[in-house]
Amino acid sequence: MIGERLQMVRKHYRVRQAELANILGVSKFTVQSWEQDKSNPSYETLAKICQMYHVSSNFLLGLTDQLPTYQEDSSVPLFQGLNEESQGMLKSYADFLRVQQKSSGESISK
């Protein structure tokens, strides 16, 4: 059950297996194994996946069929492969651009 749902949310965010593996510190073959229901992620990894994709563990585990309400967060792919310092710099730059747009009267879209 985890495999099918993990694959669904991963594809929703347009993340390749290799990218997810890199983010989680596992091999691409490990992600493939999860998605084929040959093995399961650890509890810690499952929690990271839930946070990253804004889904509940109950959904991934098949305890509920309530589809996740995806947050349209286009920043998820932007942070892939970046360390915490670089992610902070990227967030700061986004904040700077928002201030620039606001001061120039442009509308801010999500």
37-57 pLDDT, tens digit per residue, is 999 999 999 999 998 888 888
Contact by Cβ (8 Å): 41, 2: yes
Residue 88 has a pLDDT of 75
CATH number of 2-70: 1.10.260.40
**What span, in angstroms and rounded, lies between the C-alpha atoms of 106 and 26?**
42
At CA 13, angle to CA 4 and CA 64, rounded to 5? 40
pLDDT average per 10 residues of sequence, the chain (110 residues): 91 90 93 96 93 88 77 60 78 77 63
**What span, in angstroms and rounded, lies between the C-alpha atoms of 37 and 67?**
20
Residue 110 has a pLDDT of 44
For the CA atoms of 26, 28, 30, 36, what is the dihedral angle to 10 degrees? 150
